[in-house]
Amino acid sequence: MRDGAWLCLFAPLAGTVVILLGGTRIPRAVAGWISTASVFVAFGGAIWAFFAFRASNDRAGITYTAWTWLQSGSFKVGLSVLVDPLSTMMMLIVAGVGGLIVLYSIGYMDGDDEERRYFAYMSLFVFSMLLLVQGGNLLILLAGWGLVGLSSYLLIGFWHDRPSAVAAAKKAFIMNAVGDATMALAFFVLIFHSHSLEFGTSFATAAQLSPTAVNLVALGLLGGAAAKSAQIPLHTWLPDAMEGPTPVSALIHAATMVTAGVYLIARTHPIFEQARTVELVAAGMGALTLLVAGLIALVQTDIKRVIAYSTMSQIGYMFLGAGVGAYANGMFHLMTHAFFKALLFMAAGLVIHALSGEQDIRKMRGIGALMPWTKWAFLAGSLALVGVPPFAGFFSKDAIIAAALHDHWYGVILAGAGLVGAFLTGVYTFRLYFLVFPGEPSAFVREHHHAHHGQEGPLTMLVPVGVLAVLAVIGGWIQFSPFWHPLTTWLAPVAQTLGVAEPTNTQEAIASVLAVLLGLAGIGVAYVLYGRGEASLAVPRVPAVQRALEHKLYFDEAYDALFYRPAAAFASWLRRDFEEPVILSTGPDLGEGALELGQGASRLQTGLLRTYVLFLGTGLAIVGVVFLVVR
């Protein structure tokens, strides 16, 4: 078990080191295979750890410490990994889906001048996420948290010759740094009270904290989770992250970075349960995000941005589930979402690759006639996203809505938001599908489409898409509450579902029927509006509404006015009125003064003994006078 956990963690890091040290001595194509092999070795280690842990008698988890990393008085932190039901589940998802995405990248990035750098970054990203989910204490978790932010910055800005990619990378890094800061402050409060960042000690301390202190800790953790998972109000970086290569979008959106916030809530749920109001704020944040992202997705014309907003919406469902205490349901949707969202991004990547980089869905009409296999794969992912039975999303998303259906008024509101989100998901998902795949190929498609040796893409791209298509169809059958629920049982020792989030069979049935009907209604609306390929707006034709959605409800403009412009104006003032007149102008004078002082001092260095004796006697006399006066 221990060896499998360490192998899973360090195999991707070894891939990064090999590629970096090998440099140009490693052919570009070989770098891709080294990265892919390292991630699949990590997947093998995850399987090893999972089955070894399953065979053990310890369901609460086992921590393995390599060495003591930091120690100050009673505060001690080791380089530790935790093997428990939650970490093994995340290890399998991150390494498994991540390996498929890296394999897909071999075909997608073929011919790029910077392939070696790209694959080194990809392996580093997977290592960072594994460090986050395997961390045996909160400080190791925070280290992985920060490395994920760094890795995403490097990958989003991979094409650094594009100003838009550089701007998107900086935006993602800065907004995530806000969440990192709130998490660090929460950890300081825990250290102050418990002198430890070990999970068990911290959770036990949280139960003894005052309401104010525990709420501050929970709010700090929620800030980090919201930033990393792109939840309102720290969400604006995610759509811009589409400036990176498509496999990067799949990796960030499907199995790794944006799911970290959900994992954090599930991992630290004992703290959130002591601050129940903050936990419900997380649920409300998720409900608001899934509605806002669904509305904005209705008017997007970039194929990757539509899928990006769907990611925000689906992460909102996960926050909703974790916020009401249905941690297993939230993690279940995290798993199925990894399957169908990676599938959608990678199928979209096949289309983009075939159209030489074009991403505007208004130009893609009829591509399905030339790429039938991609069309069916994308359709499978779309049906799973909407939650149509028997596809994966049906089992996981409906369970979250059912968990929110309890007696309190806010539960009904949260469940209602989830149902409205199901309708919006059907509309924007099949708006995308109907505008891109059915019908006769457009003139643009016929002119720009190029086949890959008679195929829709190289096998390194088609095989991962095929595997994920199968998982999008059958992946949800792992749990079908109330008939069988092995995932809930597996996670119970470390993330027990709250009693209020355990729906009755009637609530399960109501949630499933309504969610499916509303999802199908959304598909019907999309067919009526877009079945003929007309790219009209799928909301009432009110100019103000259209402009607001096209401007993403003006979040970027608001942040620009509130934060960027004042900061830029203050920096300009400092440069104009302080740096130039004070620092830059006085710099030469200070230098000249120092030179003159040095020249004057040098004239005193006569080399005559009597001169030095005189100075020494004068100094002693001054010291004596000072002592006499002070006394």
CA torsion sign for 155, 157, 161, 164 is positive
Mean pLDDT, rounded, for 397-422 = 87
* Cα angle, residue 105 at apex, residues 103 and 106 outer, rounded to 5°: 75
Quote the CA–CA distance of 155 and 171 in Å, as a whole number.
13
User: Does pLDDT of 355 surpass 70?
Assistant: yes
* Residue predicted with more confidence, 445 or 271: 271
What pLDDT, on a 0 to 100 scale, did the predictor assign at position 533? 58
Quote the percentage of the chain above a pLDDT of 70.
96
Cβ atoms of 252 and 285 within 8 Å: the answer is no
pLDDT digits (tens, 9 = 90+) for 236-249: 999 888 888 889 98
Mean pLDDT, rounded, for 495-499 = 85
What pLDDT, on a 0 to 100 scale, did the predictor assign at position 131? 95
* Residue predicted with more confidence, 535 or 66: 66
Q: What DSSP letter does each residue of 193-240 carry, written as one string?
A: HHS--BHHHHHHHHTTS-HHHHHHHHHHHHHHHHHHTT-TTS-THHHH
What pLDDT, on a 0 to 100 scale, did the predictor assign at position 534? 57
Q: What DSSP letter does each residue of 397-421 carry, written as one string?
A: HHHHHHHH-SSSHHHHHHHHHHHHH
Confidence of residue 453 (pLDDT cuts 50, 70, 90): low
What pLDDT, on a 0 to 100 scale, did the predictor assign at position 291? 95
User: Does pLDDT of 289 surpass 90?
Assistant: yes
Lowest-confidence segment of 30-44, 302-316, 348-362, 376-390 by average pLDDT: 348-362
Quote the CA–CA distance of 342 and 469 in Å, as a whole number.
9
Confidence of residue 541 (pLDDT cuts 50, 70, 90): low
Residue (of 163, 237, 152, 166) closest to 555 by Cα position: 237
Q: What is the mean pLDDT of the chain?
A: 88
Mean pLDDT, rounded, for 542-565 = 84
pLDDT digits (tens, 9 = 90+) for 561-593: 888 889 888 888 888 877 777 777 776 767 777
What pLDDT, on a 0 to 100 scale, did the predictor assign at position 587? 67
Confidence of residue 535 (pLDDT cuts 50, 70, 90): low
User: Does pLDDT of 623 surpass 80?
Assistant: yes
